[in-house]
Amino acid sequence: MLTKYHIPERWLGHANSHYWSARADRLQSATGILLGMFLLAHLHFESSIMLGKEAFYKVVQVLEGGWFSATGHGYPLLTQLFSVFILLVVILHAAMALRRFPAQLGQWRALRSHLHLIKHRDSHAWFWQLATGFILFFLVPMHLVTMIANPEIGPNMSAYRVWHDNTWLLYILLLPAVVIHAMIGLYRVAVKWGLSFNRTGLRKIAKLLIVYLIVLGLGSLVTYMLLGNELSLPLQPFVPG
């Protein structure tokens, strides 16, 4: 004999809340993938400075539509507009992620206790993504607002900004935080949405990418610092020979 039981709605949750939570999850994943792919491209574009000033100049020329400008230098407005777009995506991604951010001291204590008791790799990965996300909440807007306010990019302009404006202090903190956050995020998205069930292989790829991208970024940063130290003042924009 079957007996019917009435389960209170508050135990089941509201259908609308589940619907919006699912949409927020998809939106968080989509914006995370977009930002992760952008980071991969951005660090490789920046690394062209290690091939010389002219190589970096040509990359900037392509990205800023230099072929379509009368001077051939491109349009800094494109950098400005793209920086605004990325900032909006970052804000949206952060808003979705904050839903699961521990907001109370008790929640942080429970999380720390959980990490100590249960040696679960994905839980530790989530913690590192949480910690780096908190750091990026402050550092990423600083970087993007700087690019929006001063969109001029070039071998000399960028080197001057890094060395003489001391933005290397920002980048030395931003680089490892954003790389770790992004690569762990891409790993978790792949696992969450069933893109791959080989967690061990994905973890190895994520770790290799973290090391590779940090080394690549540090190489670019050191190159900018060396070039900035060698600049003659007052600053003159780079002109290819």
pLDDT 10s digits, 77-123: 999 999 999 999 999 999 998 877 766 556 666 666 666 666 667 77
**Residue 164 annotated as binding?**
no
Section 43-54 average pLDDT:
96
Average pLDDT over residues 70-75: 73
**What separation in angstroms does the CA of 213 have from each of 41, 68, 114, 207, 218?**
11, 32, 30, 10, 8
Q: What is the pLDDT of residue 11?
A: 46
pTM confidence score: 0.86
Please provide the distance, in angstroms rounded to a whole number, between the alpha carbons at the two ends of the chain: 90
Q: Is 42 annotated as a binding residue?
A: yes
Token readout for 115 is 């990490």
- What pLDDT band is residue 7 in, cutting at 50, 70 and 90? very low
Check whether 73 is labelled as a binding-site residue.
Answer: no
* CB-CB contact of 64 with 77 (8 Å): no
Predicted local distance difference test score (pLDDT) of residue 1: 46
Give me Rg for the CA atoms of the chain: 22
Could you read off the pLDDT of 136-152 as tens digits, one per residue? 999 999 999 999 999 88
Assess whether pLDDT exceeds 60 at residue 129.
yes
Give mean pLDDT, residues 182-210: 91
Q: What structural domains does the chain harbor?
A: 24-101+117-230 (1.20.1300.10)
Is 114 annotated for ligand binding? no
Percent of the chain with pLDDT over 70: 83
